[in-house]
A and B are shown apart, each in its own frame.
Chain A
């Protein structure tokens, strides 16, 4: 089979089993670039060069469901974190209202299936970091009422009740209140997302959670030694838990050479007074200048496929998915440059002998099943206990 044939088979497969992507930072990009002035970034048109994401490219990429991240910066705290999160949620609602022919609000697994049947992109929301709830379980419930269906327990910083993968540990994983947050998420039907958290937090959450967990955008530690990735002992627990690890495409997490390069590039940004996650034009210009001095190692679809092969081997084909992190990362792999790239990944996996049935699980059904199972757990738990009023 030629490369062109494989790509066409990939597209055909995605038409039937579209991608559920676990994490896309378009809302934050719209906040930073145009302060949510959606008319200035009309995603019905090609936004290449400004954004990784627009509707034509989502369509070309075979995306059928997107968890839009309602991320707010990890250094936001208190009401600032909460109000920014509400603004992010509001922006997603506005996007859905603005593009009704392409995007449809989805709150449940049934909504996802209905969207697929209607040929629309099911739009779900995930909060990225427990700082978004300001240590308030009522705020967690408010986010759920407003449509948020997963919460990553931490972002890059350790918070009052959970350790992050990329910060100093304070709790040895989850604190007691952190365990209560997980229980309450189980009760209301919000998926527990373990991307970004310390391995100790992952293990604690798996111990507590009665519902499937997800990793909205994390890859395999065994393939690339970066704390944002998932250790094998955690991947091994997913079959018993029912959860899904959604492999991310971020080169600086998945390609060892890129890990090295990024450490140096981040240092360069900081030396010029920028935050190392800044993707403003000024910061990107600095990156380009740095790149001229030191060529950037380039990940490819094969790099992602290497992780997926490993994750399938360790977690099983029923427990893997895709979480690109588009518009949340400065660089993307070659061939997976933007949201139109998913067919290239599927073609690569076809080359490696993945069956159509396995690919359908990877792209669509595993993620839908995890949400459906979380809903069932929530129905059971909410019948037997009321809202938690625990405080930190």
Chain B
């Protein structure tokens, strides 16, 4: 498998999902219904070629959580029971995935921390089980390395901040176990404002080289976090509140703060946040680029669910990314900007976090 992947162009071209006549364009785009339409075909081919060089880094996928509820899916084969599997990740040109790790929500049991350790354990087990598809990634270099070896670089996180149970020792344990992204929303130290302990968490994340994920934070707390962090922050899955008000969507104020802090807003494919067409998702991506800048936009589809979550047509599973990239090409995006969107920006924020950590560790012991 791996040696075949060393020639990604060949592999993608051979994959039937990539031939223009089998992939429907998003509804509403001109000529979408006509498989022979040359413009669509060429855009899709260009999208596929682009993704083979600059694969998608996706900011949020809840497969690990879903597999805990129903562990019987084999993600080595396309399985209609869950939207994410290795063939469809490959078909979509996904080169790196942030795997969201979630504890039970019920909150009745005193086990949010051991639950999270359980999710980490499951994610690591998944990588051991599918070594030809997934490989653990801890650094930006690991991303490129995985791409060169035909593997999907797998980052642990985001992990919800409340799972720290107020313990920096737990944060350092998460880091030692491989977690690289933590989302403060919902933690008692990031609820109404970033508390002094919250500032300490951010400092420690900077020192360790973990990404701060602003998803779900109020605009005030999001801006405080972006200001407190010495390294670039991300929003692992969101959309533009200016286009569609939703509690998970970021306001232009936050997007401007991300622009100032050289952070990254990763656009979701959750129809509730974006609207139900591929066009709508592309609109959100364009809005984020317009406000935050081409260096600060990325993708975080939030796949990894069982059927039932409303998805934009054409973006119902990870194999849909080439269609979105084709749409953006048709809207006149340069290949440079697209490469930033899919790969470059995520790699940059990871590198930035690592650089900040190296600098901080000279100054500040644990």
Contacts and interface: CB of A to CB of B under 8 A. Distances in A.
Interface stretch (A79-87, A204-212, A297-305, A338-346): A79-87
Interface in B168-224: 168-170, 172-173, 176-177
Contacts of A141: 117, 121
Interface string B115-148: 1011011100100000000000000000000000
A138 B170 contact: no
B177 A134 contact: no
Interface string B91-131: 00000000000000000011111110110111001000000
B70 interface: no
Contacts of A133: 114
A376 interface: no
B167 A87 contact: yes
Interface residues of B, number: 26
Given A78-B111, A86-B169, A146 B118 contact: no
Contact of B125 (A78, A139, A386): A386
B117 A83 contact: no
A79 B169 contact: no
B115 to A, nearest CB: 8
A83 B113 contact: yes
Nearest to B119: A138
B366 A79 contact: no
B77 interface: no
Given A82-B170, A134-B114, 16 more contacts: A78-B109, A80-B110, A84-B169, A86-B167, A86-B172, A87-B168, A90-B366, A94-B366, A97-B365, A134-B111, A135-B114, A136-B111, A138-B120, A139-B118, A146-B176, A386-B125
A145 interface: yes
Interface string A133-156: 111101101100110000000000
A91 B167 CA distance: 13
A387 interface: yes
Contact of B169 (A83, A98, A136): A83
Contact of A82 (B113, B166, B168, B176): B113
A102 B117 CA distance: 32
Nearest to B173: A86
A138 B114 contact: yes
Given A94-B366, A386-B125, A89 B173 contact: yes
Contacts of B112: 79
A350 interface: no
B165 interface: yes
A256 B164 CA distance: 45
A79 B176 contact: no
A142 B121 contact: yes
B173 A77 contact: no
B200 to A, nearest CB: 14
Nearest to B112: A79
Q: Which 8 A-B residue pairings sit nearest by Cβ, starting from the closest? A: A78-B110, A87-B169, A138-B118, A138-B121, A83-B167, A86-B173, A90-B169, A134-B114
A134 B113 CA distance: 9
A83 B170 contact: yes
B117 A136 contact: yes
Nearest to B68: A389
B125 A387 contact: yes
A77 B125 CA distance: 27
15 contacts: A79-B111, A79-B112, A79-B165, A83-B169, A84-B167, A86-B169, A86-B172, A89-B169, A91-B169, A134-B111, A136-B115, A136-B118, A139-B117, A145-B177, A386-B125
A82 B366 contact: no
Contacts of A138: 114, 117-118, 120-122
Interface residues of A, number: 29
A88 B169 CA distance: 8
A41 B294 CA distance: 51
A135 B365 CA distance: 33
A80 to B, nearest CB: 7
A308 to B, nearest CB: 37
Contacts of B121: 138, 141-142, 387
A79 B113 contact: yes
Contacts of A386: 125
A82 B117 contact: yes
B174 to A, nearest CB: 9
Given A79-B114, A86-B170, A94-B366, A142 B120 contact: yes
Contacts of B125: 386-387
Interface string A76-115: 0111101110111111011001100000000000000000
A42 to B, nearest CB: 13
Contacts of A90: 168-169, 172-173, 366
A65 to B, nearest CB: 22
A389 to B, nearest CB: 8
A380 to B, nearest CB: 17
Contacts of B110: 77-80, 134
B169 A82 contact: no
Given A90-B366, A387-B121, A387-B125, A139 B169 contact: no
Contacts of B109: 78
Interface in A334-392: 386-387
B120 A83 contact: no
Nearest to B174: A86
A105 to B, nearest CB: 12
A72 to B, nearest CB: 11
Contacts of B169: 83-84, 86-91
B177 A136 contact: no
A80 B114 CA distance: 10
Contacts of B115: 136
A90 B172 CA distance: 7
Nearest to B120: A142
A89 B111 CA distance: 19
